[in-house]
Structure 1
Amino acid sequence: MLHDPLVLILMYFIVPLWLIAGFADWLCHRASHIEKTAGVKESALHLLQFAEIGLGLLAALFLEINAGIIAFLIIVFFVHEATALWDVSYAVAERKVTPVEQHIHSFLEIIPMIAIICVSALHWDQFLALFGFGPENARFSLGWKTPPVPLSYVIALLICVLLLAVIPYAEELYRGVRARRSSVK
């Protein structure tokens, strides 16, 4: 499976592009001084979106893909979209959201959908089975991916997630909390 072009596109193009878009979004927040405008609430919404999409990414990385996992990915996508709508609705009322940031948001919304489409194409019979079609019965069991994703890829990905998402967005929240405290004094 690791030699399938679609798997390689997912691993080495779609996921990195997604991380880069998330980091670019953080740069936009930093440039707009989010801590002085939308503050902690918007940063918390960003972390919530990160957690939502992170659950889907972890499931796809470590669990055997079947109808249940595909359904989970689809649900996570729609929950993430609802949170993104909440986030942007709040943000535009509190601060200027630039055209560049809006364009980056379009990447952050479409890339998860593209990833789900690729995963579904790779597991087409289970995708069809999810909706009652195709030659297979839908499977909803949880099991580890066999063979597993290479450990070197998982480690590199987790380091990139830490550097491009966890640390920047935690720093954003910290700046917001610090700004809130100094405005109360």
Structure 2
Amino acid sequence: MLADPMVLILMYFVLPVWLIAGFADWLCHRATHIESTTGAKESLIHLLMFVEVGIPLLAAMFLEVNALVIAVMIVAFFVHEATAMWDVRYATTARTVGPIEQHIHSFLEMIPLMGLVSVVSLHWGQFLALFGTGTERARFDLAWKQEQLPVTYVAIVMLVIALFELLPYVEEFFRGLRANAGRLVPAKARRREAGDTAIR
């Protein structure tokens, strides 16, 4: 399985591009002074999206992909999309979401779909079985991968996620709280109507 070109593309292209886009998005938030515009509330939404993509990612990395894992991935994708819409709608109440950040968002929304489609193509029988078709029986058990990913690869990915995804967004959240005396929503965001684009 690890020699499959699709698996290699997922491991060494799709996931790295996704992580780079996540860090670039954090840089955009910092450049638009998120702590004094939309504050910790938007950061909390970002952390929620981190969980929504983290669950299917960890499942794909460590578990045998079956109908259950595919179902979780599909649900997580749509929940993440809904949260992303909420995020942008709230963000534009008090800060400008510029062209670069919008372009980064397009990566952050489509790369999970690319990953999902790739996983489905690798496990087509279980995808069909999820909908009661095909020749395989749908499996809904949780089991560790028989062929685990290389330990070095997993360690590097986990380290990069911790240093360049989780920690920056946690820092963003607490920066927003500090800038607004512990309030989730800054006064500037409370004065705006949802959907307005404002300059700092």
What TM-score comes out, normalization by structure 2 length?
A: 0.89
| Equivalent residue, structure 1, for 2:27 | 27
Please list every run of at least 4 consecutive aligned residues from structure 1 whose deviation after the TM superposition is greater than 2 angstroms: none
Q: Secondary structure at the match of 2:93?
A: helix
Can you list the C-alpha shifts for 1:14-42, whole angstroms capped at 9, x where unaligned? 00000000000000000000000000100
Q: CA deviation at 1:182?
A: 8.3
Q: What RMSD over aligned residues (CA atoms) do the two structures have, in Å?
A: 1.3
Quick check: 1:159 aligned with 2:162?
no
Give, as a single letter, the amino acid of the residue that structure 1 aligns with 2:142. L
Give, as a single letter, the amino acid of the residue that structure 2 aligns with 1:90. Y
- Cα distance between partner residues in 2 of 1:100 and 1:133: 43
Give, as a single letter, the amino acid of the residue that structure 1 aligns with 2:37. T
- Cα distance between partner residues in 2 of 1:73 and 1:150: 22
Quick check: 1:74 aligned with 2:74?
yes
Can you list the C-alpha shifts for 1:108-158, whole angstroms capped at 9, x where unaligned? 000000000000001111111111221101111111111111111110000
- Cα distance between partner residues in 1 of 2:133 and 2:150: 32
Can you list the C-alpha shifts for 1:60-89, whole angstroms capped at 9, x where unaligned? 111100011001000011111111111111
- Cα distance between partner residues in 1 of 2:136 and 2:56: 23
- Cα distance between partner residues in 1 of 2:35 and 2:148: 41
- Cα distance between partner residues in 1 of 2:149 and 2:28: 33
Quick check: 1:147 aligned with 2:144?
no
5+ long unaligned stretches in structure 2: 187-200
| Equivalent residue, structure 2, for 1:39 | 39
What TM-score comes out, normalization by structure 1 length?
A: 0.96
Can you list the C-alpha shifts for 1:152-177, whole angstroms capped at 9, x where unaligned? 11100001101210111111112101
Give, as a single letter, the amino acid of the residue that structure 2 aligns with 1:53. V
Q: Secondary structure at the match of 2:180?
A: helix
Q: CA deviation at 1:48?
A: 0.5
Identity of aligned residues (%): 60
Kindly indicate which of the two structures has a greater share of residues assigned to helix: 1
How many residues are paired up?
184
5+ long unaligned stretches in structure 1: none
Give, as a single letter, the amino acid of the residue that structure 1 aligns with 2:35. E
| Equivalent residue, structure 1, for 2:116 | 116
